[in-house]
Structure 1
Amino acid sequence: MMMTKRIFQLLTLSVTLCLSLASVAAWDELSEEELERQLVEKFEKGEYSKKGADNCLTCHRKDAKVMALFDGVHGRSNQPGSPMAGLQCEACHGPMGKHNRGGKEPMIAFGPDSKLSAESQNSVCLGCHTDSRQQSWHASIHNVEEVTCAECHEVHAKHDPTQNQLTINDTCTGCHTEQKSMMNMRSSHPLKWNRMTCIDCHSPHGSPSEHALVKSDVNQTCYSCHAEKRGPFLWEHEPVTESCVNCHNPHGSVNENMVHYRAPQLCQQCHAEDGHANRVVQRADQDAFGAGQSCMNCHSQVHGSNHPVGAKLQR
C-alpha cells in the first residue's frame, strides 16, 4: 500500500514537472504581441509578492549575474529611489503573480535575448530615470534605431561600464566601429588612451543639436577645449567660422591636426582658382608652396587674425 502511494506521488510530481516545463516552453514560444498582452494583464492585476526579492531568490540565488545586482546602486535597499528600496525585483521585472509556480507566467526580460520590443524594455527604465539627461531621448538616433538601455548599461553589476571613464569608449565603439578605426589613426583626439570620452562631445541619450552634441553646434563643442580658436577675430576665415569639421575630422585622420587632406590639397578645396594656390608642386622639398606646412608657410593664422595687416591670415 505504501509502495503504491509512493509511486502515485512520483507520478504526480512528474506530471506537475512536465506541465511546468510545457508552460516555460509555451512562454518561450509566445510571439512579441502575445507576450506583451500577457504582461499588460499581469500589471492590471497587480499581484506583487509580499516577500519581494526573497521570493525571487528562492530560485535565482545561484545565478551570479542576478546576485551581482546587490553590488551596485540598483541593489541598495537603503537608498531612496533604488528598486530594492521599493518593489525590489518586481520594480523592473513586473508583478510576480503566479510566476514562481513553475514559471507559468512571463516576467519582463531585458537585453538581446528578450522578446520584448526596445520601446517596452526602455519604458521600464524611463519610468524612474526622468531627469534632464533623458529629455531628448525620444528624438535621439539611439531610440529611433531601437537601441535598448540594456545594450549599453549593466544594471546587475557593481560598476556600469558607461559610468567609468576607462570603459565608456569601449561601450560606444562596440557599435560605432568606423569611429573606432579613426580614433586609432596617427592623428586623433586622446580617445584611444581614455584621456577623453565620447560623452565629452556627444550625449548618448540625445540632444537638440545635430549628431547629439552636448553643445548647440560643432564649433561650440570644439571651443569647450579649444578656446583660443573661438574669436571673434578682426580677420576671419569663413570655413572656420562656419564649422570646424570643414577642415578637421574630429575622430581622427592620417594627416596632422586631424585635417581631411594635407595642404595644399586641403586649401585647394576652396582656393582652386586663386593664383599660386593651385600651382602644381614639382619638388616639395624645394618649393615654398609645398614644403613644410605648404600654404601655411605663409598663411599661418588659418583660424583668424587680429593683426592690422592680417587680411590674408599671414600674421
Structure 2
Amino acid sequence: MIKKIKIAKALNTYLPSMLLTVLLVFTTNSVLAEETTVDEVETEVNCLGCHQETQETPIHAIWQTPHGKVFGKSNQTCVACHGPSLEHGKVPRDNSPSLSFGPKWPSKFNEQSAVCLDCHEKGNQLMWLSGVHNDEELSCLSCHNIHDRIDDVLVRLEQSETCFTCHKSVQASAHMPSSHPILEGKTTCVDCHNPHGNISEHSLNEPTVNDTCFSCHAEKRGPFLFEHAPVAEECTICHKPHGSVNASLLKARGPFLCQQCHSAAFHPSVQHDGSGLANTGQGSEFLLGKNCLNCHSQIHGSNHPSGSRLTR
C-alpha cells in the first residue's frame, strides 16, 4: 500500500513535466518540418516541367555540350546560369528568369558576363573586365551560343564570320588579293588577338606587334648583322596585317613604298610616280617594273659580309 502511494505521488510530480516536454518536442519538430517544407518549395524550380524537349525548343541541345554535362539533365543545370527564377516558375509565368540571356527578357551585359566569369575567369579570360569588348558593353553571349551543340565561334572555318559581324573593315581586307588565309580557315582571328582582352595594344596575344608576327614568321626575327630599321621597329610600317591590294601585304608597291623613306639613297633622288614606265631611263625596267626588291632581296635583314645594302 505504501509503495502504491509513493508511485502515485511520483506520477503526480513528474508526469506534467514529462507531458510538457513531449509536447514541446512535438511542436518543435512540426515547426521545423513545416519550415523545411516551405524552404524546399521556395528554393526549387522545375524548369524542365515547362521547357520540355521538342523540335520547337532547341535550347535542349545544351545537354550535348560541356555545360550540360556538369550537373546532368536536371534543373540544376538551368539554375546554375539563370539563377533560381522562383517567380518565373509560378503560374501565371509573366516574370522573367532571375537572369535572362535572350531577347525577350534582356539582362544587363555585365550581369550576363558575371555568370560566365564565375567559372571561366582564368587563362585567356582573365583580362575580360579590362578588355575592349567589355568596354563596348558586349557580353559572352554576343559571340558564343551556349545552347548550341557546336559553338560556331569555336570552329576555325566559322569563327571569322562571328568577328566580321562587327569588324567590317577587317572583313573587306580579308577579301583583298593579298591577305592572311583567314577565309580558308588556315589562320583565325584568335591566332593573333585575344578577344577576351589583354594588356597589349589591339588585344594581341603577344606583348608587341612584332612578337605577334614573329610567332609565325620566325625567319624575319633576326638578329641580323645588317638590319632594316623598320623591321626592328614594327612590321606594320610596311605591311597591312589584314589584307592589301599589293603583294606580301605591303601598304604600297615598290619603289613607292621604299621612297617614302629612301628619297636620296644610291639611286638618283627622284620620286617616281609610275608614269612613262618604259622611257624614264635609269634602269626603269628594274627599278619600276620589278621594284627595289629585285636587287635588295634581303629587305628584312642580312648576315652576309657584303649585305650592308641588304642585297645579299
Residue 94 of structure 1 pairs with residue 83 of structure 2: yes
Q: Which residue of 1 is the match for residue 43 of structure 2?
A: 48
Alignment of 1:21-170 (within 5 A): 47-49=42-44, 55-61=46-52, 62=54, 63-76=56-69, 79=70, 87-101=76-90, 102-107=92-97, 108-111=99-102, 114-170=105-161
> Aligned equivalents of 1:237 and 1:111: distance in 2?
53
- Checking the alignment, whether the CA contact within 8 Å between 2:62 and 2:68 is kept in structure 1 is yes
3-state SS in 2 of match to 1:167: helix
Q: Which residue of 1 is the match for residue 18 of structure 2?
A: none
Q: 2:257 is matched by which residue type in structure 1? A: L
Q: 1:87 is matched by which residue type in structure 2? A: Q
Cα 1:117–1:311 shift into 2, 3 Å: same
> Aligned equivalents of 1:242 and 1:218: distance in 2?
10
Greater mean deviation of Cα atoms: 173-182 or 279-288? 279-288
Greater mean deviation of Cα atoms: 91-100 or 301-310? 91-100
Number of aligned positions between the proteins: 262
TM-aligned CA deviation for residue 84 of structure 1: 5.9
The partner residue of 2:229 within 228, 238, 242 is: 238
Q: Which residue of 2 is the match for residue 295 of structure 1?
A: 292
- Checking the alignment, whether the CA contact within 8 Å between 1:301 and 1:313 is kept in structure 2 is yes
> Aligned equivalents of 1:206 and 1:112: distance in 2?
25
Identity, % of aligned positions: 42
Residue 276 of structure 1 pairs with residue 271 of structure 2: no
Deviation string for 1:166-220 (max 9, x for gaps)?
A: 2111111111111011001001111111111110111110112111111111111
> Aligned equivalents of 1:69 and 1:311: distance in 2?
62
Quote the RMSD (CA, aligned, Å): 2.2
Higher alpha-carbon Rg:
2
Cα 1:271–1:163 shift into 2, 3 Å: same
TM-score (norm 2): 0.78
- Checking the alignment, whether the CA contact within 8 Å between 1:73 and 1:158 is kept in structure 2 is no
Which runs of at least 4 in structure 1 moved beyond 4 Å after TM superposition? 82-86, 111-114
TM-aligned CA deviation for residue 47 of structure 1: 4.2
- Checking the alignment, whether the CA contact within 8 Å between 1:189 and 1:251 is kept in structure 2 is yes
- Checking the alignment, whether the CA contact within 8 Å between 2:259 and 2:271 is kept in structure 1 is no
Residue 219 of structure 1 pairs with residue 210 of structure 2: yes
TM-aligned CA deviation for residue 296 of structure 1: 1.3
3-state SS in 1 of match to 2:162: helix
- Checking the alignment, whether the CA contact within 8 Å between 1:301 and 1:314 is kept in structure 2 is yes
TM-aligned CA deviation for residue 65 of structure 1: 2.4
TM-aligned CA deviation for residue 134 of structure 1: 1.2
> Aligned equivalents of 2:262 and 2:75: distance in 1?
65
Gaps of 5+ in 1: 1-45
TM-score (norm 1): 0.77
> Aligned equivalents of 1:111 and 1:243: distance in 2?
43
3-state SS in 2 of match to 1:87: helix
3-state SS in 2 of match to 1:287: helix
Cα 1:95–1:270 shift into 2, 3 Å: same
Q: Which residue of 1 is the match for residue 174 of structure 2?
A: 183
> Aligned equivalents of 1:190 and 1:98: distance in 2?
50
Residue 313 of structure 1 pairs with residue 302 of structure 2: no
Cα 1:111–1:308 shift into 2, 3 Å: farther
3-state SS in 2 of match to 1:138: helix
Deviation string for 1:144-187 (max 9, x for gaps)?
A: 00111111001101111121112111111111111011001001
